[in-house]
Amino acid sequence: MLMVALVHYPTINKEGRVVTTSVTNFDIHDIARASTTFGVARYYLVTPVELQQQFVRRIVHHWLEGSGAEYNPTRKEALTAVEIAPDLAAVGEAIERDFGRAATWVATSARRYGNTISCAALRRRLRDEPDQPVCLIFGTGSGLHPQILEEADLILEPIQGPTAYNHLSVRSAVSIYLDRLLAVRGD
């Protein structure tokens, strides 16, 4: 059972400084749609900023119960998996409350670290232990604060194309990982 957490604090900017990023409308929609396509149990938008939480609530409400629900029912379906949390501790509590087990935390990064797990290995683990909640953690800005990477149980292997360029948008990275971990395939 897979969850996605999109972290807006603590993240780093391109100079490596700790920053709080803004939630974007595209982050909400694109990742909710990918999560629903691949059967992700929950998509947590993580920000401690009350105004940002309100922004997310307003958008989700528009599509779930406002005029958006009638205008585009497929958006409604996608956004039902969205939850808002102030920090990862709150995500952990929500997972334990809703799914009865403590989550396994899997951080993501464009760099390779020691405790890296391959997508193939995590795919097998999700298949073999379907009741264990696994929460993928994604950073906005230039990535997760190093402390989150240190505290995670595992770090997922970076996505590597045939070039040295590794600046995917977080929306692209989430989509690719969900496809690798959960797509229906011949294997």
Query: In the set 11, 21, 36, 47, which binds its own copies (CB under 8 A)?
Result: 36
Q: How many residues bind its own copies (CB under 8 A)?
A: 36
Query: In the set 22, 39, 61, 98, which binds its own copies (CB under 8 A)?
Result: 39
**Crossing angle for the helix pair 170-182 and 25-37, to the nearest 10 degrees:** 10
User: 79 or 88, CB closer to its own copies?
Assistant: 79
In order of 23, 83, 171, the CA distances from 20 in angstroms are 10, 19, 18
- The one-letter code for the residue type at 139 is G
DSSP type of residue 157: P
Q: Site residues for its own copies, window 73-112 (CB under 8 A)?
A: 74, 77-78
Given the DSSP bridges, would you call strands 2-7 and 42-46 parallel, antiparallel or unpaired? parallel
User: 14 or 111, CB closer to its own copies?
Assistant: 14
User: 100 or 162, CB closer to its own copies?
Assistant: 162
Taking the C-alpha atoms of residue 159 and residue 168, their distance in angstroms, rounded to an integer, is 9
CB of 79 to its own copies, least distance (A): 12
Taking the C-alpha atoms of residue 148 and residue 169, their distance in angstroms, rounded to an integer, is 19
Q: For its own copies, which stretch binds (CB under 8 A), given 27-35, 44-52, 61-69, 128-136?
A: 27-35
CB of 175 to its own copies, least distance (A): 4
Report if residue 67 touches its own copies, rule: CB under 8 A.
no
DSSP string, 13-73: -TTS-EEPPPP-HHHHHHHHHHHHHTT-SEEEEE---HHHHHHHHHHHHHHHTSHHHHH-H
> Applying CB under 8 A, which residues contact its own copies?
14, 24, 26, 29-30, 33-34, 36-39, 72, 74, 77-78, 159-163, 165-169, 171-173, 175-176, 178-180, 182-184
